[in-house]
Amino acid sequence: MTEFPRTTVEGLSLSRMIIGTNWFFGWSHTSAAKDKLIKSTLSTSAKIADIIEVFLNAGVDTLMGLIEHPGMKEAVTEAENRVGRKVIVVSTPGFNPNDDAKAMGEAERTIERSAKLGAAICMPHTSVTDKLHDHRARRIINMDKYCAMIRNYGMVPGLSTHVAESVVYADETGLDVGTYVQIYNAAGFLMPLEVDWVHRIIWSAKHPVMTIKPMAAGRLLPLVGLGFAWGTLRDRDMVTVGTMSPDEAREVIEISLGCLERREDNVELQRTRSKDTVSAKKP
């Protein structure tokens, strides 16, 4: 492959691998100590741009996350200027999900900021979406209003969610979205349902699905997590991958291409003394 495979959301071409941003911001899902390590490692927007640059050079040009997080827009712009390629931003803003006039005004201003920052797709964050489920009526309260706001600012609406029902309810009610998020990994990490149930929901979804946490926030080896994701998703679906160094970005890209092309990847294995007996004997 000359470039990473692509899919489309409402005619918008996206790379099937999406650059995740949790590891840029220090959200490790592991420990406070790990969060601090990430923040100290990626302490400047230039260091984040170094990682995005690797992805862009491989044709992975789609990024998901809080674009208004301090330094994020600057990192994206720097990487774009280095490579000469635009990043397609999937914004996941958070806001007060109450339905009074003040909260609705805040939501619209937040959505407008995503548009001004260059987002192509806007998906209210799980901290918004998952508070609005009405399980008796099988709907997501007020999400139609937020989707209309997103359309009004020229972006494609989607659902950032950690709840499997979001996809089901959106499709049943004909909610005006072009895509949605689902947590999906072989470990079942942070998944509210068994992996086979989420697998079936993804395959039944009307629109392309952006999966997240394929390596279970570092609990799975990249080959295990990525091999499972690429091997069990539809050709239209996406995998969001977070890394904390340019080398990690190169590894996940090569491992993913190996999985998709059904070949052995060209990634150097980590070595310990205990592996001496299975390593090739030096001449």
Beta pairing partners, 51: none
Query: Alpha-carbon distance 248 to 82, whole Å?
Result: 19
Flag whether 283 is in a domain.
Answer: no
Q: Which of 278, 249, 173 is nearest to 4 (CA)?
A: 249
- Write out the residue range of the structural domain in which residue 156 sits: 6-278
For residue 282, what pLDDT is reported?
Answer: 63
Higher pLDDT, 176 or 269: 176
* pLDDT score at 39: 87
Full-model pTM: 0.94
User: pLDDT tens across 164-221, in order?
Assistant: 999 999 999 999 999 999 999 999 999 989 999 999 999 999 999 999 999 999 999 9
Closest Cα to residue 112, out of 152, 141, 145?
152
Domain assignment of residue 1, yes or no = no
CATH number at residue 74: 3.20.20.100
Quick one: CA dihedral 197, 198, 202, 203, positive or negative?
negative
State yes or no: pLDDT of 283 exceeds 70. no
Instruction: Give dist(CA 261, CA 255) in Å, integer.
Output: 10
How far is the C-alpha of 107 from the C-alpha of 99, rounded, in Å? 10
Asked if residue 109 belongs to a domain, the reply is yes
Query: What's the confidence (pLDDT) of residue 121?
Result: 98
Number of structural domains the chain divides into: 1
Residue 99 falls inside a structural domain: yes
> Is the residue at 102 inside a domain?
yes
Instruction: Look at residue 232 and tell me if it is in a domain.
Output: yes
> For residue 71, is it within any domain?
yes
Residue 30 lies in a domain: yes
> Token pair of 25, please?
């911001």
Closest CA to 176 of 239, 122, 236: 122
